[in-house]
């Protein structure tokens, strides 16, 4: 079997409401569906999320990177040779989600070709992963209500609270969420570099009674001294996310004492490099949690399959359901959180089938339905 082409289809699906965080606001999912085709007729699916504020990629740049660099480098290769594919495309710097989506698609393809779910093919046994619900950065009462509804309706027991814009409001928001969800729920915060190191220390001290599990990207990671000092002062782990988008970055953050946990996003590091980051974290005794790039159901299905394959990840709650922001989905059989968790798929690969009618409706290139 040989790779014959890689299809990259830009599409746009509106969000139900804007997604606000410390570095920007998103109003729609502007993604690129990636399909790796072979001479056997088997294909694999991945999804690239254009996140200009994080990776500098646009839908156009993702399509161009795949057409001009990744497809020529991989055409003719055995699609099972994921390590070789990773090596052959490692000269393409940045373009994180374009490369991640192609890697996921290759792993999906291996599953489809063998009839096995990716989590089994990779050696896992976890049947479900507990879901962390990401809460919006609203007024304390509104965010708390969101958390309460998630607990009641979907059985959610893990919550991420966005912070980093106004420390007082941040503290009030965390207090309101803890009050709403009770003592047993897991809560962690993500400042997306919004605090200074000193502000972070003060704010997290003020949140001490609310039993936070960890803090993600508290202050600018470029402030190396502030970040390390903060990590030493805190009794909870600092998690690296946007400061560790590659294996090399994760190694620097973990070994430099700036982080004790890593956010794993298969959307940016595929399965191949994500597995290396998990191994690195495990070797250093650092936690590894599934993060979310405001992923589609395709991206979430990929994360779920990857997480279920790795016990070090599967034991942690994962950010797996930001697709609830989407007004519609390209997948034929939607994911659904039950009892606060997502069950792995028994279908081959990452377990998704694309609804071609919906793709025709939402694609934004020349193939779009008039
Ligand atoms: Mg984050």
Is residue 283, in this structure, part of any structural domain at all?
Answer: yes
In a domain, 359, yes or no: no
CA distance 231 to 315: 23
Quote the ligand 1 centre to 319 CA distance (angstroms): 10
Around ion ligand 1, which residues have CB less than 5 A away?
190, 241
Task: For residue range 76-110, list pLDDT tens digits in order.
Answer: 999 999 999 999 999 999 999 999 999 999 999 99
- Separation of 103 CA from ligand 1 center, angstroms? 22
Q: E strands of 131-286, at which residues?
A: 132-135, 158-162, 186-190, 215-216, 238-240, 261-264
Same domain assignment for residues 205 and 260 = yes
Same domain, 161 and 39: no
- 265 located within any domain: yes
Q: Is 348 within the bounds of a domain? A: no
Which CATH number goes with the domain that contains 20? 3.30.390.10
| CA 264 to centroid of ligand 1, rounded, Å | 10
Please report whether residue 160 resides in a domain: yes
CA distance 346 to 368: 32
- Ligand 1 centre from 76 Cα, in Å? 37
Domain that holds residue 91: 3-115
Question: In this structure, is residue 189 part of a structural domain?
Answer: yes
Locate tokens 């590659």: which residue? Answer: 246
Convert the pLDDT of each residue in 28-81 to its tens digit: 999 999 999 999 999 999 999 999 888 999 999 999 999 999 999 999 999 999
CA of 192 to the centre of ligand 1 (A): 6
Same domain? For 145 and 72 the reply is no
Distance 160 CA to ligand 1 centre (A): 9
Instruction: Decide if 239 is inside a domain.
Output: yes
pLDDT at position 198 over 90: yes
Cβ neighbours around 71 below 10 Å, total: 18
pLDDT confidence bin for 137, thresholds 50/70/90: confident
- Kindly report each contact of residues 198-203 with a partner whose C-beta sits within 8 Å and lies 24 or more positions away, as own/partner: 198/226, 199/167, 200/230, 201/230, 201/233, 201/234, 202/167, 203/163, 203/167, 203/170, 203/171
**Averaged over 296-324, what is the pLDDT?**
98
| Ligand 1 midpoint to CA 143 (Å) | 18
Whether residue 358 lies inside any domain: the answer is no
Q: Are residues 203 and 308 in the same domain?
A: yes
d(CA 14, CA 178): 31
- State residue 369's pLDDT score: 67
The angle subtended at Cα 216 by Cα 211 and Cα 222, nearest 5°, is 140
Report the catalytic residues. 162, 190, 216, 241, 265, 293
């Amino acid at each position: 079997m040989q790779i014959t082409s890689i299809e990259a289809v830009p599409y746009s699906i509106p969000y139900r409401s804007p997604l606000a965080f410390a570095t920007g606001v998103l109003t729609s999912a502007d993604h690129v569906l990636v399909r790796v085709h072979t001479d056997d007729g088997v294909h694999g699916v991945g999804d690239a999320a254009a996140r200009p504020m994080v990776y500098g990629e646009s839908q156009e740049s993702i399509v161009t990177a795949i057409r001009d660099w990744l497809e020529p480098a991989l055409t003719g290769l055995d699609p099972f040779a994921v390590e070789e594919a990773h090596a052959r495309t490692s000269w393409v710097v940045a373009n994180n989600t374009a490369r991640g989506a192609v890697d996921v698609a290759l792993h999906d393809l291996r599953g489809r070709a063998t009839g096995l779910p990716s989590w089994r093919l990779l050696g896992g046994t976890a049947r479900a992963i507990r879901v962390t619900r990401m809460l919006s950065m609203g007024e304390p009462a509104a965010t708390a209500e969101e958390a309460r509804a998630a607990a009641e309706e979907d059985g959610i027991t893990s919550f991420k609270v966005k912070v980093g814009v106004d420390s007082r409001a941040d503290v009030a928001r965390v207090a309101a969420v803890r009050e709403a969800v009770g003592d047993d729920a897991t809560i962690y915060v993500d400042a997306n570099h919004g605090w200074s190191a000193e502000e972070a220390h003060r704010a997290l001290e003020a949140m001490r009674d609310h039993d936070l599990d960890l803090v993600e990207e508290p202050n600018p990671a470029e402030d190396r001294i502030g970040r390390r000092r903060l990590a030493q002062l805190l009794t909870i782990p600092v998690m690296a996310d946007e400061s560790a988008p590659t294996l090399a970055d994760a190694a620097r953050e973990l070994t430099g004492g700036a982080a004790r946990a890593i956010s794993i996003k298969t959307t940016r590091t595929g399965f191949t490099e994500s597995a290396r980051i998990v191994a690195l974290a495990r070797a250093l005794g650092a936690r590894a949690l599934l993060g979310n790039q405001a992923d589609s159901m395709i991206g979430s299905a990929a994360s779920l399959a990857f997480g279920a394959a790795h016990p070090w990840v599967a034991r942690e709650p994962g950010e797996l359901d930001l697709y609830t922001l989407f007004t519609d989905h390209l997948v034929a059989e939607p994911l659904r959180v039950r009892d606060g968790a997502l069950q792995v798929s028994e279908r081959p690969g990452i377990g998704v089938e694309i609804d071609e009618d919906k793709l025709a409706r939402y694609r934004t290139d020349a193939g779009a339905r008039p």
